[in-house]
A and B are shown apart, each in its own frame.
Chain A
Amino acid sequence: MAQITLPWTPKDPEKLRAYRAKAVKLLFGLALLQLLTAGALYTVFSIGVPARIEDWKVIVVVLGVLGPAAGFGACFLGGLAVILYRQIGAFLRLPWVAFVLFCGGVVGACLLVWAHALLFDFTKHMLEKPIGTTEVATDLLGSGLVAPLTVREIYSEIRSVIPQPLAAYLLWPLQFDLVRDLVALAGIIGFVSIVPVFGIWWERKVAGRIQSRLGPMRVGGWHGWLQSPADGLKLIFKEDFIPPEGDRILFRLAPYLTFVPAICAFIALPFAGAYVFRDLDVALLFILAMLGIEVVGVILAGWASNNKWSVYGAMREACQMVSYEIPMGMSLLIPVMTVGTLRLTAIADAQGDGFHSWLLFRNPFCFVAFFCYYVAALASCKRAPFDLPESESELVAGFHTEYSGFRWSLFFFGEYAAMFIVSGLAVILFLGGWKSPFPESWALQTGGPWYQDFVARVLNGMLLKEGPILFILKAAFLYYVQLWVRWTLPRIRIDQVLYGCVQVLLPLTMLVLLGNTFWILATKHLELGWVDTLDTIFHAALVILGYILVIGMIAIAAYGYMNRRRLVGTLAVDHLPGA
């Protein structure tokens, strides 16, 4: 009988060292090459000479100097990382290092966004005031499109601060809206990629804690913080399987139809007053429409897989999402009615005066509507207990049974992005958006010396006034509740899901909608004294209820933290007999 013997090859330390040396040589060589290129181009085109500033040199600067310079940095750091990999690993393994790095990353990302917004403001500012030169505006490649500012004008403006023409070259493209949009789009895609990567890691940690275990602990040193990127790497290298009997085109198309709408929804989702890609008048409708498109991708995936379980998953998804979008939309109508606009930024601005002004506490109907919305949102995100389309114990994996590798991960990117979007919508519409829970008067004064100004701005942005961090934190809390629910409750059956929608949520949201209509009519238009009193009483009662809820949650969390060794969620090893 024929035999195949696979030779056993042990890891040879010499060989590995040789590989590393090769990589270091390559990386440092590349870095040197790029540094030389950048330097040479800088000198040859005399970029640094203010007298010889020309607009066409922008292309040279961006492609020939900036690119190689960035490449130099990447290659140099890469080489350093290969040399110092042991030291880096040991450093990351130190207590709190990875956590501090993570927090620093968040703050750094915010600062980056902030800095880039400042730069844009700076160029905008230049555009607004006439700059006293006689130079002709640049004609872009003879296309008739005209850039209002020339490099020389920018240079003359910034000369007093940065006497280096290179900066002027780099600022030049920022005067176009297109560049701004591209940068913002890159930011959105970056955020959409980070949400699932962080979200999956977080979910695994939360699930672990709920289930009396630790969750990922190895990859990256500190609590497995690199687990998700490692999984992503694995997914990319997995076999890209397409069922031979399936519909190949639709099978390939389906993941994008679920992923792209999720990104599109971020276009209209404001993170803070200025942090929005397009402040649409119909932002809410747009986001709902985008979330609704996702179902098409899921149905296509189920159909194209040529797998009966996938078809079941797709069927369930279709009937579940389509039916739950009705109560979801109806409960979203209530804040819209109360504020009187579909523009999300305006709705959030109406809740600017702290905890009491949140729409959640505006009247009893808003209060109920929030919970209706949250349940419906859970269902339309197919999160537990409504995760029937992919219910593991019934349908194997539902609509993505046949998917693997990168296509499969796209479904997950879409799902986690949608989770964040529905949480964000709830935050904007009911929980004050990016506004602080404290009254406006608590915000610190900005201006003054730079150190005071900086501290005041940071405190305002993170706690006291408004800012994207507040928004992300609130959305993260609602996201966390989704995880919490998922790892606690069993799954509902399909008939109960539809019963809950058609017989419970739909009539309830209808009632709430009607009640809210009358409430608004009575409080805003009838001008009856006792109605206003009633409104005030209910508002006060709801706010007190809100306080009780918040304090209760904090108390439970604190109790859990203090007794973390005694709770169910502690580790099995602590309970072992004799331990």
Chain B
Amino acid sequence: MTELVLESRPDINADLTADQIRLEDLQTEEMLVNMGPQHPATHGVLRVVLRTDGEMVLEAVPHIGYLHRCAEKIGENVAPYQYIPYTDRMDYLAGMNDNLAFALAAEKLAGMELSRRAQLIRVVFAELNRIASHLVSMGTYGLDMGAFTPFLYAFREREMILDLFEAACGARLTYSYITVGGVTQDLPERWIDVCSEFLDYFEPKIDEYNNLLSFNHIFVKRTANVGVITPEDALAFGLTGPVLRGSGIRWDLRKAQNDLGYDEFEFDVPIGEGLKGTLGDCWDRYYVRILEMKQSVRILRQALARLPDAPGDAYDKRGKTMKLPADEIYYELENPRGQLGFYIQGNGSTIPARVKARGPSFCNLSVLTHIGTNCLLADIAAIVGSIDVVMGEVDR
């Protein structure tokens, strides 16, 4: 038997005294990383420049404009009813709501009143599209967190909503259904029954999403206490929609201004309550969207019940010949992502002198630098996803 001797490794620093180790040798370097415009977690073409130290993000600066089409310039060259298709392309996940916001702004400026029926149909489609938009938001947020499955569940349900839209207007993404003067055509036969059937199917699914994703321990750990927006910050940055409500501010334009008859409907405005962490964290913003889907179902049920008896025509032909007075208006509407505002200045002709769109994603995104400091790299994906930006609207 030979004996095995394991010799220890000689210490390479044996002849180095403590004062010879210089601090510069131990330093780490900061690194600038481009997250986007082609990056899976940036929801389109958002580019965030990250100043990182290892996994820590010291600063996150968003750079936008990769999808800029100067949609406002186009608005100065076409009549309002011709501009409706351009609004579809702004928030392409909530085209109905965008159509509605612009149509309402133009009608208000021209002083046009719509029939009860047109209003109710508009409410139905705005709420359906809110559900569809929140479904995408929820699904892609799961995707950002690495959970692939909720995404496909969300799209399964969204597909049905798109089928309903297709049945009503023939389009599945850029609808231009809600237009100046009402909606382009009345609902097809049996549409209300099919829509009710969908609501019956859909409502229990929300609990399914909660079981699968919202209350998943890993998901909560990833999103709670991350990207906290205080109520004061939320107001100062002009945040709106679920991002604002996630910070505990119970503010909803559907309650505050009664343009579509929302005061007839019973519904709550859900807010973030810091259930899993701090008030205004990513989980709160996410969960507000889930709760809003439930409220939208409530509104939809009431609106659908009233729709068959609603009087009037769905479309008012004056919408196409409408002249805009030499005045101006700034009108906002509660969109899935926040308040979409349109500033329209008329000059007495059919074509406006100036159209300006205030995209809710644009304002919501501006808070990223503020909350995206001193977090982990993975948190940036969580924060961007919880703000839920649509770049078509940010860049317009």
Contacts and interface: CB of A to CB of B under 8 A. Distances in A.
Contacts of A211: 148-149, 152-153
A395 B146 CA distance: 11
Instruction: Kindly name the residue among A211, A394, A488 whose own CB sees the greatest number of chain B CB atoms within 10 A.
Output: A394
Contacts of A491: 145-147, 218, 222, 378
B42 to A, nearest CB: 9
Contacts of B380: 394
Nearest to B145: A490
Interface string B140-182: 0011111111001100100110011000000000000000000
A174 B386 CA distance: 66
A490 B146 contact: yes
Interface string B16-37: 0000000000000001011000
A494 B163 contact: no
A394 B41 CA distance: 6
Contact of B376 (A207, A385, A493, A578): A493
Contacts of B213: 490
B159 A572 contact: yes
Contact of B160 (A385, A392, A396, A575): A575
Interface stretch (B3-11, B124-132, B194-202): B194-202
A527 interface: no
A568 interface: yes
A505 to B, nearest CB: 16
A493 B216 contact: no
A296 interface: no
A404 B160 CA distance: 37
B156 A492 contact: no
B156 A575 contact: yes
A488 B150 CA distance: 9
Interface string B201-238: 10000001000110010110110000000000000000
B144 A212 contact: no
B160 A576 contact: yes
Given A212-B156, A490-B222, A393 B31 contact: no
Given A391-B378, A394-B41, A394-B381, A490 B153 contact: no
Given A393-B41, A575-B160, A578-B194, A493 B219 contact: no
Given A490-B218, A490-B219, A576-B163, A393 B144 contact: yes
Interface string B360-385: 00000000000000001111110000
A394 B377 contact: yes
Nearest to B164: A577
Given A493-B221, A493-B222, A493-B379, A577 B197 contact: yes
Nearest to A496: B221
Instruction: Kindly name the residue among B146, B164, B212, B381 whose own CB sees the greatest number of chain A CB atoms within 10 A.
Output: B146
B146 A393 contact: yes
B352 to A, nearest CB: 37
Contact of A393 (B40, B216, B218, B376): B40
B33 A394 contact: no
Nearest to A392: B40
A384 B146 contact: yes
- Secondary structure of the A side of the interface? loop
A487 interface: yes
A575 B216 CA distance: 25
Contact of B378 (A396, A488, A494, A576): A494
Instruction: Kindly name the residue among B149, B160, B198 whose own CB sees the greatest number of chain A CB atoms within 10 A.
Output: B149
B160 A312 contact: no
Contacts of B222: 490-493, 496
A494 B54 CA distance: 11
B210 to A, nearest CB: 13
Contacts of B164: 577
A489 B153 contact: no
B63 interface: no
Given A490-B222, A492-B218, A495-B376, A387 B146 contact: yes
A212 to B, nearest CB: 6
Contacts of A207: 148-149
Contacts of B219: 490
A238 B209 CA distance: 39
Contacts of A487: 148-149
B152 A391 contact: no
Given A396-B40, A489-B218, A490-B222, A578 B160 contact: no
A170 interface: no
B189 interface: no
B55 interface: yes
B68 interface: no
Nearest to B38: A396
A248 interface: no
Contacts of A489: 146-147, 216, 218
B39 interface: yes
A575 to B, nearest CB: 6
A339 interface: no
Contacts of B142: 490
Interface of B: 31, 33-34, 39-41, 54-55, 142-149, 152-153, 156, 159-160, 163-164, 194-195, 197-198, 201, 208, 212-213, 216, 218-219, 221-222, 376-381
24 contacts: A207-B148, A309-B33, A312-B377, A393-B143, A393-B146, A394-B377, A394-B378, A395-B377, A396-B39, A487-B148, A489-B146, A489-B216, A492-B218, A492-B221, A494-B376, A494-B377, A494-B378, A496-B222, A575-B201, A576-B160, A577-B160, A577-B197, A577-B198, A578-B197
Given A394-B378, A568-B208, 12 more contacts: A308-B34, A312-B55, A315-B54, A392-B146, A393-B144, A396-B40, A487-B149, A488-B149, A490-B216, A490-B222, A493-B376, A494-B377
- Among all A-B residue pairs, the 3 with the closest Cβ atoms: A491-B146, A490-B147, A490-B145
